[in-house]
Structure 1
Amino acid sequence: MKPVALTIAGSDCSGGAGLQADLKVWSQLGVHGSSVVTCLTAQTPGFFSCLKASMPRFVDAQLDSVLSSMNVKSVKTGMLYSRPIIEIVAKQLIKLQGLKLVVDPVMISSTGTPLMRPSGVNAMIKSMLPLAKLVTPNLDEATVLTKKRIKEPEDMRTAARVIHSQFGCSVLVKGGHLNTSEAIDLFYDGKEEFLLSAPRKKRISPPGTGCTYSSAISAYLAKGESLSSAVVLAKQYITQSFEKVYRAGKYTFLG
């Protein structure tokens, strides 16, 4: 029997990011993917047109359907968008025993469009991060969470410690946008800290890298790996995905 993972995220109609990316990863890693749609978007990797948020009661109904019928082993959240949606999600997830929750604190699209309302940021900090086993901010998101700019690897270390001390969850600060020779990330769980690095792929910028990374972590957690092992395996997975990039239409996507 396949383990079940749940993504609570927005839909990317171009298939490169959002819950489509999550389900693709889980299919490749042998995990059954279930989903709760928080938002519909009209976008491509190069242009964001518009979005339509799901009604909170519809999000609630989707959660009821999945959680009442499937033995969900891990949960990953992506684009949550608004305070009402976040409060519904938190209310449902807090009831799960042994919750393995990976929070990807999606706040802005790769094209620069805000994907979370200001009140949503506060609600996520208050309601979601205390439930999380792991939060996976990129540099901009870590700056919002810590109110400190991140310019070098040592700043990532400081940010991880601040986030852990405030919310009690483990942290993976993604440093892909740092001006370094390699793409580096920093993991910290309060006791263990390590850097993960991979060769930087120049002139390749596919969508959905953060979604893919966090959903791979969630997949390995669903399969019974420890958190630190899941993070290491997920880094290997996304590094391999960059080696398999392909063209579809006008754009490049992770393999």
Structure 2
Amino acid sequence: MIARVLTVAGSAAQGSAGIQADLKTFQERDVYGMAAITAIVANNPVTSEGMFTNSLEAIEAQFYTAVKNVGVDGVKTGMLFTKEIISLVVRLLEKNAPASLVVDPVMIGKMGSQLLKDDAIEEMRERLFPLATVITPNLHEAERIMESGPITSKEEMKHAAKSLHRFGADYVIIKGGALPEDAVDILYDGNGFMEWEQPRIDTIHTSGAGCSFSAAIAAELAKGAAVEQAVNTAKAYVTAAIEHALDFGKGIGSTYHAAYRKHRAR
């Protein structure tokens, strides 16, 4: 049977990030994708409104539709936005523990929009992280979670990974795309580190890169891969997606989710 993965995250109307990026990634990585939408991010250019949260009842209904009607081999969380939504998701995951859980602590969008309320950070850190197989913060998210100063080097990333690991996740991977030099990601399992380093790709069109990376990890874990191999595959997948990113002529364009299949051998 095909592996089944549920994403609990926000919907991004432009199609590059959030639920849309997750489902595209699940399809590309050959797993059956399902979604529980927590909020809709639309950035309406006419009204300037951009954030529309779903009710807790609607989120719970979507979750149980996937779990009870299809079954779930792995779960990924993305944008959760409020303390109340995180509390609900924790309760649902505690009652229906998946074989693997990838937590992408989405906080700030590519356009600078706030995607996690300030009073929700502690709830995520103290209650959701301990349930996670892997958490995947970028540098800015790691700084906010730890309430630390800027992370500007690989050594500081390693220190941050150790600090984040204490919150209870099995693995921590910190994404270093915002470093001034080559892009490096660092994985920590409580004992040692693994590093993935790539030359920086000269593009601003990276919308959805973080969502797609964590979704690819979730897909590989659901298929039975070890965490290190899942990260390795996800890194290759998202690197190809950035190398062949899509520019629609306005703002930050999208990573191209089919690039790994089209331009690289599986």
TM over 0.5: yes
Task: State the SS of the aligned residue for 1:252.
Answer: coil
For residue 154 of structure 2, what is the aligned residue in structure 1?
153
Report the TM-score when normalising by structure 2: 0.90
Partner of residue 183, structure 2: 183
- Counting only pairs closer than 5 Å after superposition, residues 159-238 of structure 1 correspond to structure 2 as 159-180=160-181, 182-238=182-238
Deviation, structure 1 residue 179: 0.6
Moved more, 78-87 or 112-121: 112-121
Following superposition, the deviation at residue 200 of structure 1 comes to 0.8
What residue is the counterpart of 2:260 in the other structure? none
> Normalising to structure 1: TM-score of the pair?
0.93
- Alpha-carbon offset, residue 210 of structure 1: 0.5
Q: Are the equivalent residues in 2 in contact too, given 1:11–1:18 (CA < 8 A)?
A: yes
Secondary structure (helix, strand or coil) at the match of 2:33 reads strand
The match for 2:112 is 112
CA offsets 1:156-209 (integer angstroms, 9 cap, x no match): 0000001112324310000000111x1101000112311101121113332011
Does residue 134 of the first structure (1) align with residue 109 of the second (2)?
Answer: no
Q: Partners in 1 of 2:53 and 2:112 — Cα distance?
A: 18
CA distance in 1, matches of 2:13, 2:98: 33
Aligned residues: 251
**For structure 1, which segment, 62-71 or 240-249, has the greater mean C-alpha deviation from structure 2 after superposition?**
240-249
2-structure distance, mates of 1:232, 1:49: 38
- How far, CA to CA, are the matches of 1:97 and 1:49 in structure 2? 36
Letter paired with 2:67: L
Secondary structure at 1:112 match in 2: coil
Aligned to 2:241: 241
1:85 to 1:98, Cα distance in 2 relative to 1, 3 A: closer
| Alignment RMSD (CA, Å) | 1.6
Which amino acid counterpart does residue 254 of structure 1 have in structure 2? T
Gaps of 5+ in 2: 257-266
Relative to structure 2, which stretch is displaced further, 74-83 or 87-96? 87-96
Alpha-carbon separation, structure 2, partners of 1:197 and 1:105 = 22
Letter in 1 for 2:121: V
Segments ≥4 residues shifted beyond 4 Å = none
Over 3 Å counting, the alpha-carbon distance change for 1:33 and 1:138 in structure 2 is same
Q: Is the 8 A contact 1:103 1:136 kept in 2?
A: yes
TM-superposition CA deviations, 1:208-238 (whole Å, max 9, x none): 1100100000010111101111011110111
Unpaired runs of at least 5, structure 1 = none
- Map of 1:123 onto structure 2: 123
> 1:249: how far off?
5.6
1:216, 1:237 within 8 Å by CA — same for their partners in 2? yes
